[in-house]
């Protein structure tokens, strides 16, 4: 299982893409925690993968909802 949801945006520089994920994340109630120089890749931690060791069905349900939201954000950038 992958621990992140990713999208590589080819043929674009960071200045071209920077605004798009920030706006998409903000529209879904998320934000940018860190910036890494050197390329353009949109990535989000998969909350379902990160909660595998937790024995809490309610938390798993919420993690699934958050993952769906993050996948949509990453795909729509």
pLDDT tens per residue, range 5-40: 888 888 888 887 888 888 888 888 887 766 666 666
For residue 67, name the pLDDT band (cuts at 50, 70, 90): very high
pLDDT at 10: 87
Residue 21 contacts residue 32 (beta carbons within 8 Å) = yes
Res. 43: pLDDT tops 90: no
What's the pTM value of the predicted model, to 2 decimals? 0.62
Res. 75: pLDDT tops 90: no
4 strand-pairing partners: 45
What is the span of the domain harbouring residue 24?
4-76
Listed in sequence order, the DSSP H helices in the chain are: 14-17, 19-27, 47-50, 57-76
Residue 40 contacts residue 12 (beta carbons within 8 Å) = yes
């Amino acid at each position: 299982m992958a621990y992140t949801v990713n999208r590589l945006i080819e043929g674009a520089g960071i200045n071209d893409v920077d605004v798009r994920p920030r706006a998409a994340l903000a529209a879904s109630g998320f934000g940018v925690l860190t910036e890494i120089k050197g390329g353009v890749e949109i990535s989000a931690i998969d909350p379902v993968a990160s909660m595998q060791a937790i024995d809490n069905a309610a938390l798993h349900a919420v993690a699934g909802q958050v993952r769906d939201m993050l996948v949509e954000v990453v795909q729509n950038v």
